Amino acid sequence: MVTAMKTTSVLAMFLVTAAISGCATDDVPGPTDEAVAEPATAVHRVLFDAGHRQVAGNAFWIVDGDAPSPVPASPTSAGSWSGAISAWGFGLFSSGRYTIQQLPSGSTLNWGGGGAGDLMAADVFISDEPEQAFTATERSALMSFANAGRGIFLVSDHSGAKRCSACTEAWQVINGFLTTGAATAFGVRVDGNDVGSAGLTGRPVSGTLTPAFTAGPFGAASTLVYHDGSTVSVVAGHPNAQVIVNSSSGGFLVASQLTTGGRLVVLGDSSPADDGTCTGCSAALHDGWDEGSARAFLLNATAWLAHDGS
């Protein structure tokens, strides 16, 4: 009995010593035997806006008609979803790094209030041609969202593109946010003009932010084509904003980054986002998604907003 206890004690001491010294035995795994977990792929949450008259009149600037969750949940192609910017949503989804949600018609944005419009549940917010003004509460929620290091993508259109009698032109809605209160920190404004009626091509401008758009995770981008849109400008001397794509008429794509980490992209025309198809709508569409480098520019821009690789 004493001998057995002494043997057990010696064995225990040996095992402890082996563990401390890192010596491997058949019974005691050393440090090199431990499984190394692979890092999980980051999933970025994108909320597309369908709550600010994106389907008014001759427009269908949504991913799918089945808000808030596009149906089917696992699309096999852009055509699986019904909206005119379904290719944008599908391009993100099919990468395996993004989930897609929509703000339903009649819903509003908030910060921490719950529901479909709670921006706390998103990493990127995309609003294509909003023609209903953001309320003061929504503007505050958007700035809380940006100050939490998240990304906003706003798509405008040309002056005179109002879709319904109760609508407000998209460039005015966007400026109502960007030129009011704390959002002036972005240093960006939409000019509210009409350029590119016969088609106008813009090209990248050299800058510190530009490579994220021209050589991002969704491929190389070199040209962006307008078909009636507004130019977008940096407020004179503003340190946060840069023109990413310029044209003979002015800026097409502008980006801004706050010291809090929040990011903004503004595109002055909906044509590059338009995939030319929609189901159950009467909109006159144009496939700008496959023209020039629109696809790569918009997907790379979304990735930049999501801090996906940059």
What's the mean pLDDT in 203-221?
98
Q: What is the dihedral of CA 270, 271, 273, 279, to 10 degrees?
A: 100
Which positions ≥6 away from 179 have C-beta within 8 Å? 189
**185-211, pLDDT tens digit by residue?**
999 999 999 999 999 999 999 999 999
**18-50, pLDDT tens digit by residue?**
443 443 434 444 433 334 343 456 799 999 999
- Decide: 268 and 170 in contact? Cβ < 8 Å: no
Which pLDDT score is estimated for 12? 41
**How would you class 55 by CB atoms within 10 Å of its CB: exposed for 0-12, middle for 13-18, buried for 19 or more?**
buried
DSSP per-residue letters across 133-194: PPPHHHHHHHHHHHHTT-EEEEE---TT---STT---HHHHHHHHHTSGGGGGG-EEE----
Q: How confident is the model at residue 220 (pLDDT cuts 50, 70, 90)?
A: very high
**222-259, pLDDT tens digit by residue?**
999 999 999 999 999 899 999 999 999 999 999 999 99
Tell me the CATH architecture of domain 44-305: 3-Layer(aba) Sandwich (3.40)
Which positions ≥6 away from 93 have C-beta within 8 Å? 75, 99, 100
- Decide: 177 and 264 in contact? Cβ < 8 Å: no
What's the mean pLDDT in 135-159?
98
